[in-house]
Chains A and B, each alone.
Chain A
């Protein structure tokens, strides 16, 4: 018995079968992309073939022109439709498992998708700069910062990334960092870009504050120096006031001498007072800087040591000059205290960029090796701090030699 199906229902049936076939096809592709097990993929493939076969049988066993097979009986068609329903059920179940699996498991697609949704930019490339993987954000940053799409990660790093920070036209500041990762496919570069707009703004503000603070510090120190100067001025003023008061006393005393016809002794006292005050008033102005070496030689002379200096002298204010003066200073005190000498011989030699100062004296020869302490220790520390050398000899007579490179200002 041949059962005739109305054409409209037959059309709907064919459409449903076609949708079934597409759904199966989607499931097979999804399973392949999801890297599901081989058997699961094969079973989905069988269902696809089954669906396609049912579709073909339905078309070709219908009483339509061009059908390849003779029309089926109602019983056969009933079996065909039951199979179709079963297949439809299996397909729907499979479709849901695919969707569920996608939700619960990682697939390359989910990685890619989530990678693109990251708020930070990220790019992996091989060591030659070929981009292996990058997200939308990084591509966007590259385009905005360099005007070129992200094709060569090394070129992007050299032009933009190596500066560390990049502020785009939108006002957003990105912090770019690059590091090497060891992976299964070898070493790769990972470039990351993090939004540090707020942090960068705070840092800029902090930098500005620090600059201001440094300026204040410099001004405070400058102020400290001028305050010392002010205090000195105050001292001078106080001294001048004393002289002024003293002059008042002088005037009163002089007046009394004249009015009362004072005796010789009293007049001499008044004269002495005047002399003292006038001496103070005739004081030359203070000279802030003077020749410290000259003062040292003069001090040495006062304590009975004649300093005989030969050779060139390092320029005033240089490290070599400061060390030379410190060496002479130490040797003068040692000549007086230990050697009981009266002459200190200082030989200065300039050899290229090096200054050498050798000091000996005409005093007693040391009994044994000179034990460094006090002045010599301090001098050695100063000399070595400036990269110089210091040699102390005890025989045949005491000699101190310091060598220092011609350097900056002391």
Chain B
């Protein structure tokens, strides 16, 4: 059987070399190309012959792997994509599912070897972790936060005021204030700034730069 051609999109040299090594050591896969920016992934797909992409989320110069994956899935739905990330950001999983990404792999914690995941994905399986990695934020675990709380927490890391967050999320400033208070109580943090800094530090929420329309 002809080996599947894999495109690796990873901006860090060492992890990229590791992926390359895994692929080269396998008889089922062959390395089509290895690039460091998600922006150029579609050029390689246009050239044809790509069967699978291992796509990092945060790549060179801030290029977003999920956006690139969405673009590729729209134009070349047959190309299989595995998102590989070390960011525990809770929205990535859901976003990847929505885009139609085939599988999702956490670099740090996924027990299954990447090659096995690649094989299952090429066999037609969609392999996703049940949930993002559970991480601790103060006295609370990440699973204890509601969806709305996570949305507000993400905005909070941008340093926005309650009124601004309310405007972004279509909530009243008082509702936002109550949610922030509730999260502070859960985590035991003394201030909203501490909450924002620790949330960002943990990688639970990552506020992406807003792209002008």
Contacts and interface: CB of A to CB of B under 8 A. Distances in A.
A299 interface: yes
A228 interface: yes
Interface stretch (A68-76, A88-96, A111-119, A211-219): A211-219
A361 to B, nearest CB: 13
Contacts of A219: 159
Interface string B97-125: 00000000001100000000000000000
Given A227-B200, A231-B203, A234-B86, A299 B35 contact: yes
Interface string B71-99: 10011000000000011000000000000
B26 interface: no
B14 interface: yes
Given A223-B197, A336-B47, A236 B14 contact: yes
Given A336-B47, A337-B46, A220 B37 contact: no
Contacts of A224: 157-158, 200, 206-207
B15 interface: yes
B193 interface: yes
A385 B40 contact: no
Contact of B47 (A232, A236, A286, A304): A304
Contact of A220 (B13, B18, B75, B196): B196
A302 B49 CA distance: 12
Contacts of B107: 235, 238
B21 A280 contact: yes
A329 interface: yes
B48 to A, nearest CB: 8
Contacts of A220: 157-159, 193, 196-197, 200
A240 B18 CA distance: 10
Contacts of B108: 234, 238
A218 B107 CA distance: 30
A374 interface: yes
Interface residues of A, number: 47
B106 to A, nearest CB: 11
By secondary structure, the A interface counts as helix
Contacts of A213: 159, 161
A295 B157 CA distance: 33
A235 B15 contact: yes
Nearest to B35: A299
A217 B43 contact: no
Given A234-B86, A283-B13, A289-B61, A221 B44 contact: no
Contact of B18 (A217, A231, A280, A374): A280
Nearest to B208: A224
Contacts of B160: 217
A118 B14 CA distance: 78
B161 A302 contact: no
A54 interface: no
Contacts of A385: 212
Contacts of A227: 200-201, 203
B177 to A, nearest CB: 15
A255 interface: no
Contacts of A201: none
Contacts of A235: 12, 14-15, 86, 107
A286 B33 CA distance: 18
B46 A332 contact: yes
A280 B24 CA distance: 14
Contacts of B86: 231, 234-235, 238
B58 interface: yes
Given A223-B197, A333-B46, A295 B212 contact: no
Contacts of B58: 228, 231-232
B149 interface: no
Contacts of B18: 239, 242, 280
Given A218-B159, A231-B87, A234-B86, A239 B47 contact: no
Contacts of A332: 43, 46
B203 A374 contact: no
A217 B47 contact: no
B61 A374 contact: no
A120 B5 CA distance: 82
A232 B161 contact: no
Nearest to B193: A216
Contact of B15 (A239, A333, A337): A239
A296 interface: yes
B42 interface: yes
A155 interface: no
B28 interface: no
30 contacts: A213-B159, A214-B159, A216-B193, A217-B158, A220-B157, A220-B196, A220-B197, A220-B200, A228-B58, A231-B58, A231-B87, A232-B12, A234-B86, A236-B14, A236-B15, A238-B86, A239-B14, A240-B14, A286-B11, A289-B61, A295-B37, A295-B40, A302-B33, A303-B46, A303-B48, A329-B40, A332-B43, A336-B43, A374-B71, A381-B213
Identify the 4 closest CB pairs spanning chains A and B, nearest first: A217-B159, A303-B47, A333-B46, A239-B14
Given A220-B157, A227-B201, A239-B14, 9 more contacts: A217-B160, A224-B157, A279-B21, A283-B14, A288-B60, A303-B46, A303-B48, A329-B43, A333-B42
Interface of A: 213-214, 216-221, 223-224, 227-228, 231-232, 234-236, 238-240, 242-243, 276, 279-280, 283-286, 288-289, 292, 295-296, 299-300, 302-304, 329, 332-333, 336-337, 374, 381, 385
Interface of B: 11-15, 17-18, 21, 33, 35, 37, 39-40, 42-44, 46-48, 58, 60-61, 71, 74-75, 86-87, 107-108, 157-161, 193, 196-197, 200-201, 203, 206-207, 212-213
